[in-house]
Amino acid sequence: MGLDLAETGHTALGEPEKEAIREQLNRLLASHYFSQSKRSVTFLRFITDHTLAGEAENIKERILGIEIFRRDPDYDAATDPVVRVTASEIRKRVAQYYQDPGHEKELRITLPSGSYIPKFHWPKDVNDAALQAADHPAETHQPGTMADGAVGFTAKQLGEPPSDTPELELVSEEALAEPEVHPKARAPRHFALILALICAAGGLLLVGVVFIWQPIHRPAFDFFWRPILTASDPVLLCVADQLQDSGIALRNPAEPGRPVWMNDSSKKNPFTTVAIDDLNAIVKVAAILQSSQKQYTIKGEGATNLADLRSGPSIFVGAFDNAWTLRLTNPLRFHFSANPDMTQRSIVNSADPHSRWAVDDSVQMATGDYRDYAIVARFTDSNTGKLEVVVAGIGRGGTLAAGQFLTDSGNLVQLERAAQAVGGKKNMEVVLSTQIIDGQPGSPKIEAVYFW
């Protein structure tokens, strides 16, 4: 049984219930999932406070853009997805918070997909007499048409709500655990538990399993990946690496939340590490190779030499921290460039020197709200005589978007159609853009394509 606050207003809840929701909101926002994101904190507090005040009608995308993100009153929400991207990020942070042990019995604040109005879910053991006595008809909730993180190029696919005032329900934990779904779509409880454990492990296994289950030999995947997958030699994954300090952060089982830095006096050289954002792209690409039973090896760019590149196809992840990517793309139509102090990095069109896509460090560091750019390419290199694939962004958000683009059939369909329009040429290079909000990329968008 639930109460629809969007229709009944704030009188549906008494002050004790509202105070309990505010206390839970403070706990949620104080967690490490939110403490590093001021935008997410401001956003979730704004929509919760206005809902409790009976002002759900004011929770609209344009109003949120103006009030929270200081956009102009006439800004174009279709081309500026800041509200939708932030809402999607909040859903992920909230889900991570409630997956942690000890939070399962807490009052739940959630933001349904396709809505900007939060819902409040009471714990099972709460005995609210007023709620039990309330006589409200049962409601049906229409889920959003797109899951969080879905790839697309329209406002709807970015998560724009179908209505400015979707319903808000107050439901019990039983209703949360047993949603009304079509019988064919109902999943057993143990499957949900397994899925949660996989997500808690970082989602890496899930990515691989998804690609193994899905038939990747569809026309769109065949178009781009078949030359790599059918090559007789193993594939080299050449990844960007970073040299870190010779110490390492360890965690005590009695206090896992507090890292302790330990210097390793026995290690003379710095540790070599891989950025987590690059790892996301690496896992996506490796999953395609693995699901096709294609042999491959992974090497850091510092350990890769020309003989390695001549031994078979190679895939390069990362740009300004991967010297091989810079060397191989330098002769191409689109290539990377930077000023001497590396504060302005860009992708340049050699056919038109005035055409470039740039990221300014001052804007990136000051706002966290900017556009990042990437190159994805597949071509036969004249020096190695082998097929090469590039998955590289100016920043790490760009590399994330590049990995997303090359492992999604919807994106590759666009690329295939563009190739067919120029006679099916085999070598190709694409410039992508993506909007970065609080360090998280949105959907990739094609800016330019060149075939030869």
- Is residue 441 within 8 Å of 434, Cβ to Cβ? yes
**Strand, coil or helix: 110:** strand
* Whether pLDDT at 244 is above 90: no
CA-based Rg of the chain, rounded to a whole angstrom? 25
pLDDT > 90 fraction of the chain, expressed in percent and rounded: 37
Q: List the one residue out of 58, 45, 63, 43 whose CA is nearest residue 9.
A: 58
Q: Where are the domains of the chain?
A: 3-186, 217-240+275-451
Distance CA 310, CA 328 (A): 13
**Strand, coil or helix: 143:** coil
pLDDT at 327: 94
pTM for the full predicted model = 0.53
Sequence-ordered list of residues with C-beta below 8 angstroms from that of 16, at least 6 positions apart, any chain: none
* Whether pLDDT at 198 is above 70: no
For the stretch 276-334, pLDDT in tens is 667 888 998 999 998 889 999 999 888 899 999 999 999 999 998 889 999 999 999 99
pLDDT at 99: 85
For the stretch 48-88, pLDDT in tens is 999 999 888 889 999 999 999 888 888 888 888 889 889 98
pLDDT at 108: 93
* Whether pLDDT at 226 is above 90: yes
